[in-house]
Amino acid sequence: MASSDLIAILPLILLAATPVTVMAAIAIRRHHGASALLAAAGMASSLLALPAAAAEAPRRVGALIAVDGLALYFTALVVAGALVVLALAHGYFRARLGQHEELYILLPLATLGAAVLAAGTHFVSLFLGLEILSISLYALIAYPRRAYEVEAGIKYLILAAASSAFLLFGMALLYARHRTMELRELGAVLAADQPIAIVGLGMVLVGVGFKLALVPFHAWAPDVYAGAPAPIAAFVSSVSKAGVFAMALRLVIEAGPLRELLFLALALVAIASMLVGNLLALLQRDVKRLLAYSSIAHLGYALVALLASGEVAIEAGAYYLGAYVVTILAAFGVVTVLSEDDRDAQDLDLYRGLFWRRPWLAALFTASLFSLAGIPLTPGFLGKFYLLLAGAESELWAPVFTLVAGSVIGLFYYLRVVFTMFAAAPAEAVTRATAPGWAATASLAALVVPLLVLGVFPQPVVEWIRLWVAGA
Burial annotation 226-250 (CB, 10 A radius, 16+ → b, else e): bbbbbbbbbbbbbbbbbbbbbbbbb
The pTM for the full model equals 0.92
**For residue 225, what are the CA distances in angstroms to 140, 146, 222?**
12, 15, 5
Cα–Cα distance, 296 to 271 (Å, whole number)? 11
Cα–Cα distance, 274 to 288 (Å, whole number)? 18
Would you say 84 and 107 are in contact if contact means Cβ atoms under 8 Å apart? no
Going from N- to C-terminal start, the domains of the chain cover 3-468
Contacts of 197 (CB under 8 A, 6+ apart): 174, 177, 190, 191, 257, 261
Q: Which residues pair with 286 in a beta bridge?
A: 347
pLDDT of residue 93: 82
pLDDT of residue 1: 67
pLDDT in tens, 34-80: 898 999 999 999 999 999 998 887 888 888 888 888 899 999 999 99
pLDDT of residue 463: 84
Would you say 243 and 129 are in contact if contact means Cβ atoms under 8 Å apart? yes
DSSP letter, residue 348: G
Bond into 257 cis (ω within 30):
no
* Torsion sign, CA atoms 36, 48, 443, 221: negative
Cα–Cα distance, 248 to 402 (Å, whole number)? 21
Cα–Cα distance, 436 to 87 (Å, whole number)? 10
pLDDT of residue 280: 92
pLDDT tens sequence for the chain (472 residues): 678 888 889 999 999 999 999 999 999 988 888 898 999 999 999 999 999 998 887 888 888 888 888 899 999 999 999 999 999 988 888 766 667 788 899 999 999 999 999 998 888 999 999 999 999 998 888 877 666 778 888 888 888 888 889 999 988 888 887 777 888 777 666 655 567 777 888 888 888 898 888 988 888 888 888 888 889 999 999 999 999 999 988 888 877 666 677 788 889 999 999 999 999 999 888 999 999 999 999 999 999 988 887 778 888 888 999 999 999 999 999 998 888 777 788 888 888 888 888 889 999 999 999 999 989 889 999 999 989 998 888 888 899 999 999 999 999 999 999 999 988 766 555 455 555 677 788 888 888 888 888 888 888 888 888 877 755 4
Burial of 128 (0-12, 13-18, 19+ CB in 10 A): middle
Would you say 112 and 39 are in contact if contact means Cβ atoms under 8 Å apart? no
Bond into 216 cis (ω within 30):
yes
